[in-house]
Structure 1
Amino acid sequence: MIDKGTIDKVMETAQGQITEVVSEFVNLKRRGINYIGLCPFHNEKTPSFIVSPHKGIYKCFGCGKGGNAVNFLMDHEQISFIEAIKILGKKFHIHIEEKELTPEEMAHQNDRESMLVVTTFAAGYFMDRLHKSDEGKSVGLGYFRERNFRDDIIQKFQLGYSPESRDAFTKEALRQGYKLDFLEKTGLTIVRDDYKADRFRGRVIFPIHSLAGKVIGFGGRVLRTDAKTAKYLNSPESEIYHKSKVLYGMYQARQEIARQDRCILVEGYTDVLSFHQAGISNVVASSGTALTPDQIRLIARFSKNLTIIFDGDAAGIKASLRGIDLVLEEGLNVKVLLLPDGEDPDSYAKKLGGEALRAYIQKHETDFIRFKTGLLLEEAKDDPIARARLVQDIVRTISVIPDSITRTEYVKDCSNLMKVEEQVLYMEIGKLRKKRQEDASKRTHYNENQSPGNSGMSAPAPVSDPMLKQAASSSNPFEAEEREVLRFLLKYGDAMLGEFEFDDGKREVSVGEYIVAELRQDELESVNPLYNRMMELYEENFRNENFSSSRFFVSSSDNRISSLATDLIAHEYSLSRIHDKLGVVSTEEDLLDELVPKVVTELKWKKVKILLDEKRQLLKKAEEEKDEAGFMELLQDFNNLQQAFIFISKALGGRTVV
């Protein structure tokens, strides 16, 4: 366990450096006092993800995600609170002491954490075997030396070797106390009845990292020339590794991609290694598979500019062309580079070296649509049917580009290249885009009809927390008013409000003290337990020295509290700038002495109004049942509530009793 003081120190440091934390995963650009980028939690083409260094929060106004630096890391990497604290502690050089977990405590760790522990051990084991075993040095290290990879590159990518012996790794892992269940779930060990074997035996190992640097999977290359097995082998899909969402080398390349605002995509592991060795480190690999939407969005988070490098294999190029439409659809600017015959990125990087390779890329990379048009024109030659198919193919590609100006430029170029009138191309593009919109509309209509209550909204995610379950199961008629009161409490709780009359006399109070006193004197509680918990926490802590309401709740270790606090603080309200009768613009903060009592009174007004409605129904029922005693008691309650309601209505400007 980590002591609370250390956790608080890590959270405070991370909150002050939230931009640095988030920028490791999202390409952020300054906008005023904040930073903006594409949200990593949902697919978007227009940035709506904001990081506020001043407030120490992030907030997406598209999908609603928000919180502090720890929340971000937990959500993004799907890790526990303690794991996030450890990562941030290491990042900010904060020493974290914790007791060693007992076997019983380790057994209570969830599957994902246990699998990450196993893959971390495996990566260390494979590296150790590469450098310290005779077999590893002669076979594995010998292979890397033969490929001319330097030691610093081998270390940078944590390359390793798995012994030829059937179950050498599995035996060592079991001896060290790692469970066979997790060895199997990570795909490191193949288990069939009593048979156990190492998946990657006899292969050099390429660890695959998450954006946070965690080893989540492995690629292995067999070295035996007579092996009747696949040359390359990857970890199977698991809780921690999804091949379609990962790009090899992204962890090592992400900062350089953002700095250069360009990503270079190659095919294999050694292509990435050779580029890094040549000094070009903004490069990632698709590991021999067609690009997926998730991988494209991963690139887009760091740069909108992508250069794809092909070797001279014509069949491979044509297969790849079909997938690049997905890249254009995501709004990326795509260029392609065709290497000379017989060369691949690995060999050519070693042949040219860094400086010459950079110059070659800059000189020979070509806009993708021009490249595709030229390639298909060469293939079609003078065949009219083939040329017609070419036009349709190119039009289909241009039609997926979201930016209209970019589409216009491509239409002009392709019209000249293909000798087809621009108007014809525009008409075909229009038809395709219209059909896509109609198809999307049908899908949306279908999803709306399938959603609960036909509300047009997707079903809410399952709630596992008992407190949130209770809140979700009961409707809250005071939701808007209670959130507004909480917003003032969190955003301005420390601000002084002025003098107010209380039971113990007239005194000056803060916004937070006023809200607490007003709600407590009328014993007002929410049907939402989370709102009540935040009020309780405020009461318990607001008199502490150096207490800051916004910082306290945003940096809460309770993800529900910090997320709600972020949402309330980040949200812009129409009252934020107000014109008085003289035309002078006031900020919300200037008018706290008017606005805070008003929002509290609004909440009281609505609560009393609903209580009156309930009493009316009970009075009606008592009258129908001829319950005279019950009727008189209810009538007394109703009259008291009505007097209170009239009083509150006058305070709000004389609202009519209904």
Structure 2
Amino acid sequence: PENEIYVKSKILYGLYFARSPIDKAKECLLVEGYTDVISLHQAGIENVVASGGTSLTTEQIRLIKKYTNNLTIIYDGDNAGVKAALRGLDMALEEGLNVKLVLIPDNEDPDSYVNKVGTTAFKDFVANNKKDFIIFQLGILLKDAGNDINQKNNVVNNIAETLSKINRTEDFTKLQEYIKQCASLLKIDEGGLTTLVNKYKRDSIAKEEKKLYSVGDFQTQEFPQQPTTNYTDSDTLLLHQDEAIEKNILKVLFEHGYKSWNNEQSIALYVINELSPYKFHNPLLAKIYAAFIQELNEGKQPDAKTFLYHTDEAIRNMIISITASPYELSPKWDEKLQGLNITNRDNSIQDAFMSVTFFKLRKIKKMFEENQQQLEIATTPEQQLQLMKDHLLFKEEESKITKALGTVILK
């Protein structure tokens, strides 16, 4: 019986003894029952494990993936065996496994068949009768559909959803070959199938996002809960205008850069390190920011006066604009800082933290918007796949920042 230590869905029977043989053969044979494993091991076929009569689980698939990417499933050839073999294999595709299927003939199972024909004949049968999982699945679905138009339409959708599980960039060529073969067997347009596969990919991403950003997820976080934020006009200005955000960063650097952020670095170094992955949108502000960093690298303590008498008139005017338009932190944002683990908090720490956070949120929001625009005009499945992965990365980064604040996700 199952207990806290033994959970059937998280283990593979025989894996301990099969690890080295799997690694050596560069292939894992998966059977259904324990007796199948024992009989095959006794016959000298040792790269074999059993799922314990359950559908393959994500945990079991990842155990296999530790030793090989090649999975061959050997099941009974009856209808029950076929259905059992097909269950859970979409997850194997998601994990990047190459899945083949071998069905034992004549109502045999691996145990009885290896005892009947012997080791060599069994190995030969497996080697010569491997069927590609996706193509085999499509054949079964088409056979069941017959001439029913509605059933055939369901087949197209089912196979497109299965193909959408092949989502790693390195599997792009494999996906294209599958689309080509499946479109031919379905007698449909290859481009149409590609479009449908990408639709299922987008739907899957949307579901993951919904799961990631659900209210329940926020309730499990360790930071203090905050009510939905009502942004003030000043907040909205900072969130939606690059120049305002970038000017505020420079203002913080000029006024507080020399002060201590913690025992290890100054506020200037904190800001520069946090913003290293991002670029300024305004070329003039970018130029001033780069000059500030250069001054700092030379061991100086730059401030607004450093640039106030610059030979470039545009820089002088911008410095005047930055210093003449103070930004006051919204009281609501001040309340949020109470729950953050920042010691010796004063206005300089507040200004630096909030300015950096607004800057990062705005840049990620902008990258997300640009990614969405590129996704709409992407012409190849490879481009679409990469853009959809970038989409998730941007949302995850946004989530990290907003969770640190205890705020809602920006819409």
Q: Distance in 2 between matches of 1:336 and 1:348?
A: 16
Q: Distance in 2 between matches of 1:396 and 1:477?
A: 51
Q: Distance in 2 between matches of 1:244 and 1:354?
A: 29
Matched residue, 1:406: 174
Deviations 1:23-62 (A, max 9, x none): xxxxxxxxxxxxxxxxxxxxxxxxxxxxxxxxxxxxxxxx
Once the two structures are TM-superposed, the CA of residue 356 in structure 1 deviates from its matched residue by 1.6
Once the two structures are TM-superposed, the CA of residue 477 in structure 1 deviates from its matched residue by 4.2
Q: Establish whether residue 390 from structure 1 lines up as the match of residue 179 from structure 2.
A: no
Contact residue 377 and residue 387 of structure 1 kept, 8 A: yes
Once the two structures are TM-superposed, the CA of residue 409 in structure 1 deviates from its matched residue by 1.0
Matched residue, 1:281: 46
Once the two structures are TM-superposed, the CA of residue 273 in structure 1 deviates from its matched residue by 0.9
Once the two structures are TM-superposed, the CA of residue 452 in structure 1 deviates from its matched residue by 2.6
Matched residue, 1:453: 223
Q: Establish whether residue 420 from structure 1 lines up as the match of residue 188 from structure 2.
A: yes
What amino acid is the match of 1:452? E
Structure 2 matches for 1:470-549, cutoff 5 A?
477-478=262-263
For the structure 1 residues 480 and 437, does the alpha-carbon distance in structure 2 shift closer, same or farther, using more than 3 Å as the test? farther
Deviations 1:227-249 (A, max 9, x none): xxxxxxxx2222x2121111100
For the structure 1 residues 454 and 416, does the alpha-carbon distance in structure 2 shift closer, same or farther, using more than 3 Å as the test? farther
Q: Which of the residues 265, 268, 283 maps onto 2:33? A: 268
Identical pairs, percent: 45
For the structure 1 residues 294 and 611, does the alpha-carbon distance in structure 2 shift closer, same or farther, using more than 3 Å as the test? closer
Q: Establish whether residue 373 from structure 1 lines up as the match of residue 138 from structure 2.
A: yes
SS, match of residue 77 in structure 2: coil
For the structure 1 residues 613 and 425, does the alpha-carbon distance in structure 2 shift closer, same or farther, using more than 3 Å as the test? closer
Once the two structures are TM-superposed, the CA of residue 454 in structure 1 deviates from its matched residue by 7.3
SS, match of residue 88 in structure 2: helix
Matched residue, 1:431: 199
Q: Distance in 1 between matches of 2:3 and 2:18?
A: 23
Matched residue, 1:357: 122
Contact residue 266 and residue 284 of structure 1 kept, 8 A: yes
Once the two structures are TM-superposed, the CA of residue 320 in structure 1 deviates from its matched residue by 3.7
Bigger strand share: 1
Deviations 1:283-336 (A, max 9, x none): 000111111110110001111110001212213322442311111111111000
For the structure 1 residues 612 and 342, does the alpha-carbon distance in structure 2 shift closer, same or farther, using more than 3 Å as the test? closer
SS, match of residue 99 in structure 2: strand
Contact residue 56 and residue 87 of structure 2 kept, 8 A: no
Q: Distance in 1 between matches of 2:156 and 2:25?
A: 35
What amino acid is the match of 2:19? R
Q: Which runs of 5 or more structure 1 residues have no equivalent in the other structure?
A: 1-234, 456-475, 482-609, 615-658
SS, match of residue 247 in structure 1: coil
Q: Distance in 2 between matches of 1:611 and 1:246?
A: 47
Deviations 1:391-412 (A, max 9, x none): 1111111111123222111100
Output the aligned Cα RMSD.
2.7
Q: How many residues are treated as equivalent by the alignment?
A: 232
Deviations 1:512-537 (A, max 9, x none): xxxxxxxxxxxxxxxxxxxxxxxxxx
Once the two structures are TM-superposed, the CA of residue 373 in structure 1 deviates from its matched residue by 1.0
Matched residue, 2:210: 442
What amino acid is the match of 1:428? L
Once the two structures are TM-superposed, the CA of residue 478 in structure 1 deviates from its matched residue by 4.1
Deviations 1:585-612 (A, max 9, x none): xxxxxxxxxxxxxxxxxxxxxxxxx999
Contact residue 265 and residue 307 of structure 1 kept, 8 A: yes
Once the two structures are TM-superposed, the CA of residue 443 in structure 1 deviates from its matched residue by 2.1
For the structure 1 residues 611 and 367, does the alpha-carbon distance in structure 2 shift closer, same or farther, using more than 3 Å as the test? closer
Q: Distance in 1 between matches of 2:76 and 2:85?
A: 11
Contact residue 448 and residue 454 of structure 1 kept, 8 A: no
Once the two structures are TM-superposed, the CA of residue 277 in structure 1 deviates from its matched residue by 1.4
SS, match of residue 453 in structure 1: coil
Bigger helix share: 2
Q: Establish whether residue 299 from structure 1 lines up as the match of residue 67 from structure 2.
A: no
Matched residue, 1:101: none
Matched residue, 2:354: none
Structure 2 matches for 1:630-645, cutoff 5 A?
none
Matched residue, 2:2: 236
Q: Distance in 2 between matches of 1:309 and 1:296?
A: 15
What amino acid is the match of 1:453? F
Once the two structures are TM-superposed, the CA of residue 341 in structure 1 deviates from its matched residue by 2.5
Q: Which stretch of the first structure deviates more once superposed, 399-408 or 432-441? A: 399-408
SS, match of residue 275 in structure 1: helix
What amino acid is the match of 2:3? E
Structure 2 matches for 1:11-50, cutoff 5 A?
none
Which structure's relative contact order is higher, taking Cα pairs within 8 Å and 6+ residues apart? 2
Q: Which of the residues 87, 91, 107 maps onto 1:322? A: 87
Contact residue 237 and residue 243 of structure 1 kept, 8 A: no
Q: Distance in 2 between matches of 1:418 and 1:269?
A: 38
For the structure 1 residues 282 and 385, does the alpha-carbon distance in structure 2 shift closer, same or farther, using more than 3 Å as the test? same
SS, match of residue 54 in structure 2: coil
Once the two structures are TM-superposed, the CA of residue 372 in structure 1 deviates from its matched residue by 0.7
SS, match of residue 452 in structure 1: coil
Give the TM-score taking structure 2 as reference length: 0.53
Deviations 1:325-359 (A, max 9, x none): 11111111100001112110001111222222111
Q: Distance in 1 between matches of 2:41 and 2:345?
A: 72
Matched residue, 2:256: none
Q: Distance in 2 between matches of 1:429 and 1:340?
A: 34
Q: Which runs of 5 or more structure 2 residues have no equivalent in the other structure?
A: 226-260, 267-341, 347-411
SS, match of residue 100 in structure 2: strand
Q: Which stretch of the first structure deviates more once superposed, 365-374 or 308-317? A: 308-317
Contact residue 13 and residue 49 of structure 2 kept, 8 A: yes
Once the two structures are TM-superposed, the CA of residue 415 in structure 1 deviates from its matched residue by 0.7
Deviations 1:408-445 (A, max 9, x none): 11100101111111111111111111011112122222
For the structure 1 residues 313 and 612, does the alpha-carbon distance in structure 2 shift closer, same or farther, using more than 3 Å as the test? closer
Q: Distance in 2 between matches of 1:318 and 1:613?
A: 62
Q: Distance in 1 between matches of 2:265 and 2:123?
A: 57
Q: Report the structure number with the largest CA radius of gyration.
A: 1
Q: Distance in 1 between matches of 2:156 and 2:166?
A: 16
What amino acid is the match of 1:449? F
For the structure 1 residues 454 and 288, does the alpha-carbon distance in structure 2 shift closer, same or farther, using more than 3 Å as the test? same
Q: Establish whether residue 258 from structure 1 lines up as the match of residue 23 from structure 2.
A: yes
Once the two structures are TM-superposed, the CA of residue 448 in structure 1 deviates from its matched residue by 6.0
Structure 2 matches for 1:73-222, cutoff 5 A?
none
